[in-house]
Amino acid sequence: DQQVKQNSPSLSVQEGRISILNCDYTNSMFDYFLWYKKYPAEGPTFLISISSIKDKNEDGRFTVFLNKSAKHLSLHIVPSQPGDSAVYFCATISNFGNEKLTFGTGTRLTIIP
């Protein structure tokens, strides 16, 4: 039972354009969402997060949008740079108190120079 879904396993975007990565979740009780970025042979690194009391959070080139009614969130990267090529995971905290994360399956983003 996949509670967090990333339906696009891969995405290719031209350098300088906008990258949009999508994530859907099933449990309306989730109320904190995170995006992680992972390079090969490294652990995931935190990118940006959003609480359910907001519908948008921005940090530099990265913006996360949350649509609670659709149980959907997206990560926008603009402008995309070659160093953004990585696997991106969305995640949600499923149990506040121990902050156990539930991850999606990931989207591999490739930025084409």
Partner 1 sequence: GAGVSQTPSNKVTEKGKYVELRCDPISGHTALYWYRQSLGQGPEFLIYFQGTGAADDSGLPNDRFFAVRPEGSVSTLKIQRTERGDSAVYLCASSAGPNYGYTFGSGTRLTVV
Enumerate binding residues for partner 1 (CB under 8 A). 4, 6, 9, 41-46, 89, 91, 95-106
The conformational region for residue 46 under phi > 0 = left, psi -120 to 50 = alpha, else beta, is: beta
Residue number with CB closer to partner 1 (16 or 104): 104
Closest distance of CB 23 from partner 1, Å: 11
Closest distance of CB 18 from partner 1, Å: 24
Residue number with CB closer to partner 1 (17 or 100): 100
